[in-house]
Amino acid sequence: MEVKRRHYLDNIRWVVTIVVILYHVIYMYNAQGIAGVLGPITNQRVQYQDAFQYAVYPWLMPIFFMVSGISAKLYLDHHTGKEFAKDKTIRLLLPTTLGLVVCHFVQGIINIQLSDAYETMSAIPFPGNVIGITIATVLSGIGVLWYMQLLWFICMILLLIRVIEKGRLLKACEKMPVWPVFLFAFLAWGMGQILNTPIIVVYRLGFYITFFLLGYFVFSSETMMEKIKKLFPVFAVLAAGLGIAFVLIYFGQNYADKPINRGILFAFYGYFGSVAILAGFAKFFDFSNAFTSFMSKKSLGLYMFHYLGVSGVALLIAKNNLLPAAVIYPLSLLAGFATGFGLYALISLIPGYRVIAIGMRKKK
């Protein structure tokens, strides 16, 4: 029996990846005092374009983890746990470990130069300065790949959970009515308080594993998705209201760190925004054509390499004031797409290297 592909999951991936690129362009030149980027390049007293960050950040990565949870369930329906572990290790862990050394360290060079950290480390006596600079460069190359690292770790946790629950929880979730879906927002908020790493604020295991496991146990059910689709208007209105409130209340503050990213409004908006996207795409965008198929195949490359183009323009052009801000913004966006498409296509042609750099075992 042929299994019908859920095209809306593919479409969510590439559409949200485009939103990620737009987000990183605004983020690179934000005026909110967030470290690690170039900062403002305009003379605006208030950069209203920065509001885009607040409008998308709470749900931007949660929806990725939710979709990944659903995809994990669909994969494991037809593969063994051992095959799952091998696939995720090659696709996710290899590029974010050995891949840093042979490929993604280039992103690290740009990141450190943007923050002028090389000057600080150069003051350390030899050979400590060389060792420190090398380690910092490689680790800084992680960049947007943190998502893939964390996702691999969560996938390994899932395999352990499967051994413990033996399918009982899955069966229980299949019979679940729709009303608990609204209460899961409290679960996301509660889990967002634990297992957060200091300093590097993106590694939020408690928060993101919640979305992944909800995807795996709850939203992977076609029965549940039929219920969710019918309630799309409700989820859309909830998400819109929470999003407007989040932007109005927190605009001008660091939305990506505590206490804001631990707050109930952040968690509720992230959760209901993700569910609204899932329901909307399942209802209106469960199809495939030549364009969506192309974008689906290239979405991973766009995600992995877009920031190289955005940050490259920031370092080489914007930091040196070579062009006006009105040109820098669209140029950064264009560079993000160019490096995303171009580098992924180029690396995919190189046997062996592509396995380590992008987790591609063979050209497709």
Contacts with 127 (C-beta within 8 Å, 6 or more apart), sequence order: none
Q: How many CB atoms lie within 10 A of CB 100?
A: 23
Q: How far is it, in rounded angstroms, from Cα 45 to Cα 215?
A: 42
Q: What radius of gyration do the chain's Cα atoms show? A: 21
| Percentages of the chain per state (helix, strand, coil), in multiples of 5 | 75, 0, 25
Q: How far is it, in rounded angstroms, from Cα 57 to Cα 33?
A: 16
Residue type, 274: S
Q: Residue 123: what pLDDT? A: 54
> Which position has the token pair 């983020």?
27
Q: How far is it, in rounded angstroms, from Cα 298 to Cα 29?
A: 26
Q: pLDDT tens string for the chain (364 positions)?
A: 456 789 999 999 999 999 999 999 999 999 887 777 899 999 988 999 999 999 999 999 999 999 999 999 999 999 999 999 999 999 999 999 999 999 999 999 998 888 766 555 555 555 555 666 778 888 888 989 999 999 999 999 999 999 999 889 999 988 899 999 999 999 999 999 999 988 788 999 999 999 999 999 999 999 999 999 999 999 999 999 999 999 999 999 999 989 999 999 999 999 999 999 999 999 999 999 999 999 999 999 999 999 999 999 999 999 999 999 999 999 999 999 999 999 999 999 999 999 999 999 864 4
Residue type, 282: A
What are the domain boundaries of the chain? Answer: 7-96+142-358
- Residue 286: in which H helix or E strand, if any? none
Q: How far is it, in rounded angstroms, from Cα 107 to Cα 311?
A: 8
- Extract the tokens encoding 222: 């076609």
Q: Residue 269: what pLDDT? A: 98
3-class state of residue 204 by DSSP: strand
Of 13, 52, 32, the closest CA to residue 329 belongs to 52
Q: How far is it, in rounded angstroms, from Cα 211 to Cα 158?
A: 12
